[in-house]
Structure 1
């Protein structure tokens, strides 16, 4: 593995009640986060292939950790998202190299499909700063009930020469959705939109 991982954390959120209404079954979100050494911290490098390769490794590792934490079959995952925060000695392009060229394919394999784009965010930050992970339905971007997000933070990460990389999954959409749009039972899952 190219990634030099200092730390992995997994967060599971289960919502059982909203606005005084019971949510049954509960809606669940999970995020798996890896804190890795940034091999290019502190200096400009033209070729970011090593970070692209690390993205593929982490797409698989973090995707599988999330599915395992939810305790469901991979095909039962409904939403996904990804995010990265570079420490102060890194640049946003380092986060982009991890998230975009190669992380998606192994993540889709971990959740058995995934026709839609994986929503993403990237930022620069330091220890204890919140990382927001956007979420969208894995097979159809127009499913409004699944426009959501999850935020996580680690008190000691990312340090200046690190990158915090996260993948989030859900087993459902938002609780009590009522803003219309394409419903889950209407998904075709062919073009990633509907």
Structure 2
């Protein structure tokens, strides 16, 4: 993996619609900008990218958790996303995000029964991607359906891929649309 840049962003919501958010809603994104080894050409075997995904799953999750200053097991939501530069293809992002990135994330966090929500797209420098979020143990916890917008001014270049992992220590600020609460999670099937 040729890593050009690492960026960490934290977001803390203290007030929403004039109402205090206590405790504050906190999210952290850890982002890597890497060279795309297949930029400008078709490659049938994308295993190089799947292995990069495994390495980034561990690295970025560790950095995001550290940015929040919490124990890994205190993470409530997670998500992942990638933007492929114009000389790449969407499948390059899929190769990084799907086969191997999730297991190292869960290992860092000490588990996670739910699928890791993801997004991918092609874009240029300064492109924005909304990293979808969901509760790490139960997909039906509506209070944790959220997203964090991620952008880096100089990435991805045409021959690069921007990869982001986001973790939170809570759900949305002032969530109140019902559904399964986090206190009702069983956490066995990833849904409830």
TM-score tier after normalising by the smaller chain length: over 0.9
The unaligned stretches of length 5 or more in structure 2 are none
Number of aligned positions between the proteins: 192
The residue number in structure 1 matching 2:99 is 101
d(CA) in 1 for partners of 2:136, 2:28: 15
Match among 2, 8, 11 for residue 9 of structure 2: 11
Q: Quote the offset at 1:77 in angstroms.
A: 0.2
Where do 1:34-183 residues align within 5 Å?
34-183=32-181
Q: Deviations over 1:90-110 (max 9, x none)?
A: 000000000000000000111
Q: Quote the offset at 1:111 in angstroms.
A: 1.3
Q: Deviations over 1:2-37 (max 9, x none)?
A: x21000000000000001011111110000000000
d(CA) in 1 for partners of 2:177, 2:25: 18
Q: Deviations over 1:115-154 (max 9, x none)?
A: 0000000000000110110000000000000000000111
SS of 1:84 mapped into structure 2: strand
The unaligned stretches of length 5 or more in structure 1 are none
d(CA) in 2 for partners of 1:148, 1:163: 23
Q: Which runs of 4+ in 1 moved over 2 A?
A: none
SS of 2:60 mapped into structure 1: helix
The residue number in structure 1 matching 2:31 is 33
SS of 1:182 mapped into structure 2: coil
RMSD between aligned alpha carbons?
A: 0.4
Q: Quote the offset at 1:54 in angstroms.
A: 0.1
d(CA) in 1 for partners of 2:57, 2:80: 9
SS of 2:147 mapped into structure 1: strand
Q: TM-score, normalised by structure 1?
A: 0.98
d(CA) in 1 for partners of 2:116, 2:92: 18
d(CA) in 2 for partners of 1:31, 1:167: 6
